[in-house]
Amino acid sequence: MADIYHALIKHTLAEVPTESLQEYGDNCHSAVMAINSALSLIGNLTFEASQSEDYPDTDAKRDLFLVGSVLRNLPRIAQALEHNSGLVEHEMRVRNAQAGANHD
């Protein structure tokens, strides 16, 4: 069954202009870093909430549901973005090699 990863990955970047391609790769890389930061933050907040005596069970259950929803999807989104970033790097190497070959 396809998940969010398969919806986000790019299969070809050959038609994307070089400037747009580099910007896309940078955006993917930045998004991966943001997702990893969000995952760390969720872990820290969850830990702190579990240590609090004034955290009602109903709030904890609701928040755990929301955290579970995030944790279910963010890792695959990060993987897809990392995959796309790798494709951009590969496409840029191909273009640079072709440009170098054309100058010889």
Q: What would the pLDDT profile of 14-66 be if each residue is shown by its tens digit?
A: 888 888 888 988 888 888 888 888 888 888 888 888 888 888 888 888 888 88
Distance CA 81, CA 57 (A): 36
DSSP state of 2: -
Q: Would you place residue 2 in the very low, low, confident or very high pLDDT band (cuts 50, 70, 90)?
A: low
**So what's the pLDDT on residue 3?**
75
Distance CA 35, CA 32 (A): 5
DSSP state of 29: H
- Over residues 89-103, the pLDDT tens digits come to 999 999 999 988 887
